Amino acid sequence: TIHRPTSDRLYQEALQHIVGGVNSPSRSYKAVGGGAPVFMKRAEGAYFWDVDDNRYIDYLAAYGPIITGHAHPHITEAIIESVRNGTLYGTPTELEIKLARMLKEAIPSMDKVRFVNSGTESVMTTIRVARAYTKRNKIIKFAGCYHGHSDLVLVAAGSGPSTLGIPDSAGIPTSIAHEVITVPFNDLDALKEALERWGDDTAAVMVEPIVGNFGMVMPHEGYLEGLCKLTRDAGALVIYDEVISAFRFHYGSSQTYHAFPDHKEIEPDLTALGKIIGGGLPIGAYGGRREIMEQVAPLGPAYQAGTMAGNPASISAGIACLEVLQEPGIYDRMDRLAAKLADGMREAAAANGIPLTVNQIRGSFSAHFCDHPVTNYDEAQDTDGERFGAFFRAMLDQGINLAPSKYEAWFLTTAHTDADIDATIEAAKKAMAKL
Ligand code: PMP
């Protein structure tokens, strides 16, 4: 077992100065029984080291961005070279054009792009743009999908698909929540019902086309086609939040993923991006059809700005990251390793009579302690969080770092090796035996 006295001490100190001791609530161990989170000090490839010099194999990947592994030399060099020339100009640069072109080539539904600083900002702005374009106010979203922490998307379901939302956080006015309708994912009838009731007022339907926030969840066959058709028939826009999913499964987005036979039928009007496209530095981007994007200032009446937006370091890291991801075979390798680990998890659970549902999508998967499929948020909620907490700790104590939440995915990176996977399966066997 690993000891972490310095993390314990730093956590006590952090609590004095930083609210909750963490700068994002998902980093706290509240959902896995509490206590001090591990304080990391260095990372390289698939590993990081904590302040007590314990080594961990990392499957958190910083909640997604670190798909090429930590401190990838090509990305690190790009950042260093960039900051040597200054960190921020407040003027356009040629680099921004390069990354915009790369995104457009990979995601053809984006005629025009704008860079921002986070996924939250990109999603928030797509909503403003959709409202400006449609001159309508309401948004339909899906239970359990996370779209950042702006007011409109931190709203939970009312008591059925045809009811208005309720705030998911203090500090959000009910009047704002009433602009949002939340329906279950993978249920076209529920969406249809909501659109019948609110369609004329609906600016956009916002969805994670492949879900990454209540486990990894594929849309049912035909679901996205149906969602796009119902939404367009109501005169509303389709917004894909691809902050997690873009460049995750292949070099492109969910919109162009091979599991969807007809890409044109599932193309959104607007797409929100973040995470991987910044190579580990802060970034967001949104884009879409030309006439919709032309609503944005300085061309149109929808205002959006940013002092740090398109900063050279983030853009350089993003370009370098996408360059690494263009290397042939890279996604197939992550897929193969994830499949091996997913199988190992299933076997370790079965050997101990523990029900486990593993959803693998290419180089990522989720593992829910339950005996039913996980295709929507209700099913993901109805899983054993206490058991997950015990599993999480047993893995951590063997040097395997997972996200401290039963909903989060495991992310493979280009740096993980067969030896890492074998070691993780061994650890999972021991952890399951203890549950
Ligand atoms: N959308 C999705 C699908 C996300 O997973 C996240 C973050 N986990 C966000 C938006 C928000 O991104 P950020 O944390 O960069 O604001």
Residue that has been written with the tokens 């890409």 in this structure: 263
Answer for the pair 144, 103: CB distance below 8 angstroms, yes or no: no
pLDDT of residue 253: 96
ipTM above 0.95, yes or no: yes
DSSP 201: G
Catalytic residue among 138, 141, 192, 275: 275
> What pLDDT, in 10s, does the model give residues 66-90?
999 999 999 999 999 999 999 999 9
Nearest-atom index, ligand 1, CA of 64: 8
User: What residues of the chain score a pLDDT lower than 50?
Assistant: none
Amino acid at 177: A
pLDDT of residue 374: 98
pLDDT of residue 389: 98
Peptide bond between residue 298 and the one before it cis (omega within 30 degrees of 0): yes
- The pTM of the full predicted model, rounded to 2 decimals, is 0.98
Task: Give Cβ neighbours of residue 384 (< 8 Å, ≥ 6 apart).
Answer: 369, 370, 406
Nearest-atom index, ligand 1, CA of 24: 14
List, as one string, the DSSP characters of 405-423.
STTPPEE--TT--HHHHHH
Ligand 1 binding pocket mutation candidate from 27, 66, 146 (most atoms within 8 A of CB) = 146
Query: Taking the domain 73-325, which CATH number applies?
Result: 3.40.640.10
> What pLDDT, in 10s, does the model give residues 195-247?
999 999 999 999 999 999 999 999 999 999 999 999 999 999 999 999 999 99
Angle between helix 94-106 and 312-325 (nearest 10): 40
* Angstrom distance (rounded) from CA 75 to CA 344: 32
Domain 5-71+328-434 has CATH 3.30.530.20: no
pLDDT of residue 163: 84
pLDDT of residue 153: 94
Q: Strand, helix or coil at 292?
A: helix
**Domain spans in the chain, listed from the N-terminal domain onward:** 5-71+328-434, 73-325
Give, in order, the Cα–Cα distances in Å from 322 to each of 168, 175, 252, 411: 35, 41, 10, 17
Strand segments (E) across 176-277 = 180-183, 202-207, 237-241, 270-274
pLDDT of residue 76: 98
